[in-house]
A and B are shown apart, each in its own frame.
Chain A
Amino acid sequence: MSAAPIALAGEPRVDLAEARAHGLSTEEFAAIERILGRTPTFTELGVFSVMWSEHCSYKSSRKHLRMLPMSGPNVVGGPGENAGAIDVGDGWVAVFKIESHNHPSYVEPYQGAATGVGGILRDIFTMGARPIASMNSLKFGSFDHPRTRFLVGGVVGGVGGYGNCVGVPTVAGEVMFDAGYNGNILVNAFALGLARREDLQSARARGAGNPVLYVGSATGRDGIHGASLLASAEFDAESESKRPTVQVGDPFTEKLLIEACLEAMKTGAIVAIQDMGAAGLTSSSSEMAGRGGLGIELDLDRVPLREADLTPYEILLSESQERMLIVAERGREAELQAVFAKWDLHAAVIGHVTGDGRWRALYRGRVVADLPVGAISDDAPVYDRPACVPAASDALAAAAESAAQADAPAPAAALRALLGSPNVASKRWVYRQYDSIVQSNTIAGPGSDAAVLRIKDSRRGLALKVDSNPRACAIDPYIGAVATVCEAARNVACAGARPAGISNCLNYGNPERPEIMWQFIRGVEGLRDAAIALGTPVISGNVSFYNETEGRAIAPTPVIAMVGTFADVRLHLKQYFKIAGDAVMIVRSAAPSYAASEYAALFGAPPRPLAPIDLGRERRLVDGLVECAERRLIRSAHDVSEGGLAVALAEACFNPAGIMGVEVDAGDSGHDGEVLFGEGASTVVISAPLENIEVIHQIFDPLEVRRIGRVTTAARLTIGAAINEDLAALKQIYEMALPGRLNRP
């Protein structure tokens, strides 16, 4: 029945050269011709180029992602939906996902970051969940790089500009500065939504004849070929000229879409819904049809356009923001349209579901694309790209080089330098620009080990944290990934929550290079092993390849977003010492090391490999923290991360209610710089009433538990004879480091 679609006047001729210009390989173009039994039209070629792009098809990563643990007793909703969900109790489920927007943010930092936030929010509310929290992981180049301050200002402005206006609090995040990101920053955005379990929506089309509704902003030329650009082209001077594709976010329309969609879902007239993200109308329509094993027909003349002269190619590939595609129950279109009209949004019927398994687009009465749904949504190539261990680890070599310098500074001087380093220092300059309290759920916001949110009308709560450790991953991509997962879990457990699920954003270089592919595979293996050991399923994720500039890849950067749950959120903990006289203790699973530490980055240190991680001990540490919190045995818990133990002790004293002090006894902690400033070991600083010390020892057995000192009111940090510092002065260094670098005109 389907005659071959017709080429439109003025369209380029489709041949191998054109296919290659669209980023398809010779083999891929041959496969397309084989599947179709003919040469695709120009419009169809555009469709294949985005749907078979790395960004949409995960063709280099898919094989390896299958090894991740995606199920578990608390996982709700299966594969094949937009994002997974976990059961958080009392009938509530949490839907969450993290996604990259790296390349768009480098080209246009404000809009790139803003649309990254908008896109991830749509992934959440399309599931029927109200977005209640955002987080982000930002990696910038060093402050010496001329573009860094511009990028920081733009990205932070964009995250805030969008998130603040859409009414979703930004509750946590991480910011790192490292020369490795000079030409390729990372902007990973996370969102979490809550839904009643029975209200979860499907993205699976059902019912031939059901109408397809288009809701939200009109379609313009935004981001045409953005998806393929951002995932398959490395950066070079030319990207600066690819400007016409910049997408502009409209958080106001997004807010209306959130309210209107959640209200429309309550009518029960929505069969399936998906946001128009990468590859816009094409991917949303074909994926919904593909999941349902059905076909779909779109009448492009009915698509709301911002400019009348868009071609079918442009309409199908546009990445205009704030658009949703809905499959409705036949006959109930008007009911849905009324809800959208209430919110001043237009809902246009632009097509219908068919039973023939074809993805068909009509334009001015003629078929311009007619493809098997499976060919674009499922049959994208899957590559098992070659992987091999790099000859010598560049990171180790670099570390060896930097080790040559430097007499070790005195401990007090090292502590001050670390507190003033942008990677350790307070990120208040950043998060003060984010609304972190809207929706009235934020119990602990940015600046905490993990954000803590309550769930209204319930005792339950959530803890959220996003973590990464590219320096460790650069030395050993497997151990680095394991360490990242453990750190995220530990942070959540420090708040007293039980780690429950993971979303990951895997940022790597060019997968066509075997050593990058090796880094990626080792990273996924690390993520798998740690996730299994900690009992935290990976419910969603995103892969960002081609993070390279002029042939230089970023360090492997798997970013882990961990969500934990509280049975009773009133039992949550913060990182701050509270009561003078409390015992200060450390619990650790291994010995600290200068490897991959901020100290080594600042002062140099002899190169060394990362110590292997015993996942059984990591689990013990996490479980012990949760037990201590639930039994109210400890008053604070703080993870030792960048800067090591001495920095963590200082941070624990920076209580917003009034600076506390700490006295660490000589001999008990050791004064070796590596004990004070080393990282890598999973270590937690806790404070507890003296009478609980013994039971705390029992809980953490067989881990190393030491009482190292006591909380005081003196606002001094003393560690034996090595350090005796005024904490108000230290706090000043810690607070002023970023403003000092960023507020300069």
Chain B
Amino acid sequence: MKWGVVRFPGSLDDADAIHALREVLGQDAAMLWHKDEALGGAECIVLPGGFSYGDYLRCGAIARFSPIMQSVARFAAEGGLVIGICNGFQILCEAHLLPGALMRNRSLAFVCDVVTVRVENAATPFTRAARTGEILRLPIKHGEGCYVAPQEELRAMEERGQVLLRYVDEAGVASDAANPNGSMRSIAGVANQGFNVFGLMPHPEHAVEKALGGEDGRRIFASIIAGGARAASRVSG
């Protein structure tokens, strides 16, 4: 499957995403430059983690105006798959491709740790390789990952199944103690209404190799790849 990873000034996990996709998962992944408009025929766009534009003003606020983001928005509107990880999630929210916003962590401190998240809806292109209710161990590292949205919006999102990942404890129960950043309803990842744009604070690209601590991130990528294969077979068949 063909992937495009966008490099903004200040992107940090761009090379990690490329490494995970190319070297570990054997995918065809290319780096895309923020000043370009072409998406290079990618079937899935990754907006990687990092501190685009230093996270100055608001996280993701400046990056959303990059030339490539105009192409990404069009691509998403046409149903193309877009996944935003950490800073990428923040950019997607700023660009209004996803609902809600990400604010400073409740602790006011950056947090780097491994968390457990529960898959809330496995019937999406980003989670279809997992089971609903499955617990994944994924790393987080962010200072502004507290997800907020208006209550009515949250209720509607829950009803539509747009909340894909929720922070839970080892037993799979959401709690204040298991919520690393104060996110409303312990939300760790959400999709848009079309389920083709997904943003999450945890880093699946940092959880694809056992030697580095875990492989649960593969679930997310495997979901996307499975969808890609299906789409490809539809095209060829």
Q: Which residues of A are at the interface with B, using a C-beta cutoff of 8 A?
A: 157, 160-161, 164-167, 250-253, 255-256, 343-344, 431-440, 442-443, 454, 456, 570
B51 touches A164 (CB 8 A): yes
Per-residue interface assignment for chain B, residues 38 to 58, with 1 indicating a CB less than 8 Å from any chain A CB and 0 otherwise: 000000000001110111100
Task: Give the distance to chain B from A495, nearest Cβ to Cβ, in Å.
Answer: 14
Inter-subunit contact B9/A344 (CB<8 Å): yes
16 intermolecular pairs with C-beta atoms under 8 Å apart: A160-B110, A164-B143, A165-B55, A167-B13, A250-B54, A252-B51, A432-B113, A434-B112, A437-B203, A437-B212, A438-B12, A438-B13, A438-B49, A439-B16, A440-B20, A442-B212
Contact B51 A435 (CB under 8 A): no
Query: Is B10 engaged at the interface, CB distance under 8 Å to the other chain?
Result: yes
Given contacts A437-B212, A438-B16, are A164 and B110 in contact (CB under 8 A)? yes
Contact with A along B200-227 (1 / 0, CB 8 A): 0001011001011100000000000000
Contacts A167-B13, A255-B12 known; list 10 others, CB within 8 Å.
A165-B54, A167-B50, A251-B54, A252-B10, A433-B109, A435-B112, A437-B141, A438-B13, A438-B49, A440-B205
> What is the CA–CA distance of A256 and B110 in the complex, to the nearest angstrom?
22
CB of A255 within 8 A of CB of B141, answer no
How far does the alpha carbon of A454 sit from the alpha carbon of B111 in the complex, in Å? 23
> How far does the alpha carbon of A440 sit from the alpha carbon of B204 in the complex, in Å?
12
Count chain A CB atoms within 10 A of each CB in B16, B54, B111, B205 and give the residue with the most.
Answer: B54
Complex-state Cα separation, A250 to B109, whole angstroms:
19
B15 located at the interface, meaning its Cβ lies under 8 Å from any Cβ of chain A in the complex? yes
List A contacts of B145 (CB < 8 A). Answer: none
Q: Which residues of B contact A (CB under 8 A)?
A: 9-10, 12-13, 15-16, 19-20, 23, 49-51, 53-56, 109-113, 139, 141, 143, 203, 205-206, 209, 211-213
CB distance from A579 to the nearest CB of B (A): 18
A433 to B54 alpha-carbon distance, docked (Å): 17
Which B residues lie within 8 Å of A431 (CB)? Answer: 112
Q: Which of the residues A157, A252, A433, A436 comes within 8 Å of B9, measured between beta carbons? A: A252
Once the chains bind, are B206 and A251 in contact (CB under 8 Å)? no
Chain A residue, CB-CB nearest to B53: A252
Closest to A461 in B: B211
CA distance A602 to B205 in the complex (A): 45
Contact assessment for A440 and B141 in the assembled complex, using a CB-CB cutoff below 8 Å: no
Secondary structure of the B side of the interface? mixed
Closest to A343 in B: B9
Min CB distance B71 to A, Å, is: 19
Question: Which B residues are in CB contact (< 8 Å) with A437?
Answer: 112, 139, 141, 203, 206, 212-213
Inter-subunit contact A255/B211 (CB<8 Å): no
- Which residue in chain B gives the minimum CB-CB distance to A444? B213
- Contact at A433–B110, with CB atoms within 8 Å? yes
Beyond A432-B112, A436-B112, whether A570 also contacts B211 by CB under 8 A is yes
Report B-chain residues with C-beta under 8 Å of the C-beta of A255. 9-10, 12, 51
Given the known interface contacts A250-B54, A252-B54, A439-B15, the answer about A164 and B141 at a Cβ–Cβ threshold of 8 Å is yes
Q: Are B141 and A438 in contact (CB under 8 A)?
A: yes
Given known A-B contacts A252-B54, A252-B56, A440 and B19 have beta carbons under 8 A apart: yes
> What 5 A-B pairs have minimum CB-CB distances, sorted nearest first?
A252-B54, A167-B12, A165-B51, A440-B16, A435-B141
Query: Of A344, A437, A454, which is in contact with the most chain B CB atoms at under 10 Å from its CB?
Result: A437
Most buried by B among A161, A164, A250, A344: A164
Q: Complex: how many Å from CA A431 to CA B12?
A: 19
Q: How far is the CA of A437 from the CA of B86 in the complex (A)?
A: 14
A454 to B24 Cα, complex, angstroms: 15
Q: Chain B residues near A167 (CB, 8 Å)?
A: 12-13, 50-51
CB closest residue in chain A, given B50: A167
A433-B110, A437-B112, A440-B16 known; A454-B51 Cβ under 8 A = no
What are the residues of chain B within 8 A of A434 when measuring CB–CB? 110, 112
Instruction: Using CB atoms, name the residue of chain B closest to A157.
Output: B109
Residues of B contacting A439 in the complex (Cβ-Cβ under 8 angstroms): 15-16
Q: Is the pair A433, B112 in contact by a Cβ cutoff of 8 Å?
A: yes
Closest to A256 in B: B9
- A248 nearest CB across to chain B (Å): 12
From A251, A343, A433, contact of B51 by CB (8 A): A251
Of B109, B112, B206, which one neighbours A440 at CB under 8 angstroms?
B206
Q: A388 to chain B: closest CB distance in Å?
A: 47
Task: Kindly provide the distance from the CB of B115 to the nearest chain A CB, expressed in whole angstroms.
Answer: 12
Question: What residue in chain B is nearest A656 (Cβ atoms)?
Answer: B114
Listed residue (B110, B111, B203, B209) with the most chain A CB atoms within 10 angstroms of its CB: B110
Name the residue among B50, B139, B141 with the largest chain A CB count within 10 angstroms. Answer: B141
Q: How far is the CB of B44 from chain A (nearest CB, A)?
A: 20
CB proximity of B54 to chain A, nearest CB, Å: 3
A166: B residues at CB distance < 8 A: 12
Residues of A within 8 A of B50 (CB): 167
